[in-house]
Structure formats: structure tokens, C-alpha cells
Amino acid sequence: MTGLNPTTDIILSISCFITTHDLNLLDAQGYHAIISTPTSTLTAMSEWCINTHTASGLVTACQAPTAISATQASDELLTYIKRYIPEPRTALLAGNSVHADKMFLVKQPWSGVIEHLHYRILDVSAIKEAARRWCSDDVLDRVPRKKNAHTAKEDILESLEEARFYMDLFKRME
């Protein structure tokens, strides 16, 4: 995203991986799109966003001929989700700090995606905060470390790895 304010900022890239209830990928490739973005929008980002998205190659990718419109990406993403989860209101939006993602997805042209998903979300960062408060240092030392690549695809895959860690903790409590 160009920032964290859904009123003024926009999505620059989006990725989606769909899993089973026990976090196994249904499609290892997932869905990914880079959104075509004007130079004026990219240069108006905060210094952190400019530095991070330039270093990852996202700024260049957003201006490449292969970048697509947000409308096209939204349509493709919804089609991708429906291929695996055709029943509306059953798939969860999940990942780290997904409440922020949801704030962007309720806006056009993305709202069709969020309308297809369940109203509940699975926020891995909320589970992480509970673990920080309730688990021993031994458990916390085993939490998968983030690489902080700050790309949509890598962030999701890291969130998935972390969610699997917490799922395993819960399963051992049975």
C-alpha cells in the first residue's frame, strides 16, 4: 500500500493464498497482482514507503507494462477466490494485521472481494500478542522470525508460517 490510511492511500500489490482449515495450501502459486500506479502517487508516499517499496522493486513494477488496473486485479482476485471457495461468506481473510487490509478491501474496486468473504477475520498478529502475554520465553523463542521483505507475497507466506506455529501450539493442548 502507499500508506496505512485507507481514505488517502491505495493498494500497490496484492497476493492471496487459499488454504484448507489446517493451513495446507490449495494452490502453491497463489494469486498475485501489481497495480499500475502513476508516478505522482508513488512520489507522494512517505519516506518509509518510498525506501521500502523501491528496495523491493515494487515502485518499478507498478510502472511496468505488466502492471494491471485495480479493477482488473479485483475481478481476477474474486474469480480466483471463487474457484476454491465458491460459497459466499465462508472464506476468512487471514494474516498479520488483516484489519488494516480489510479497511482497504471495503473500498472500490475491491468491495466485491470482501463481500464474498466471511465477516470474521483471523488476525495472526492478535494471536501473536496473546502469546507474548501468556506464553513462556521458551515458546516465544520458537516463533518463526520475519524477514521483513514487505512484499504482499512474502508477508502472506510468513504469516502462514506463523499461523501454523500457533495452530500446532493449540493442537498440543488437546
Give pLDDT tens digits for 117-146. 999 999 999 999 999 999 999 999 999 998
Q: What is the pLDDT of residues 18-60, one digit of tens each?
A: 999 999 999 999 999 999 999 999 999 999 999 999 999 999 9
Query: Coil, strand or helix: which one is 22?
Result: coil
In 18-165, DSSP assigns E strands to 31-34, 93-95, 121-123
**Residues marked as catalytic:** 150
pTM listed for this prediction: 0.94
Structural domains of the chain, with CATH = 13-172 (3.30.420.10)
Q: Are 158 and 15 in contact (CB under 8 A)?
A: no
Q: What is the largest CA-CA distance in the chain?
A: 54
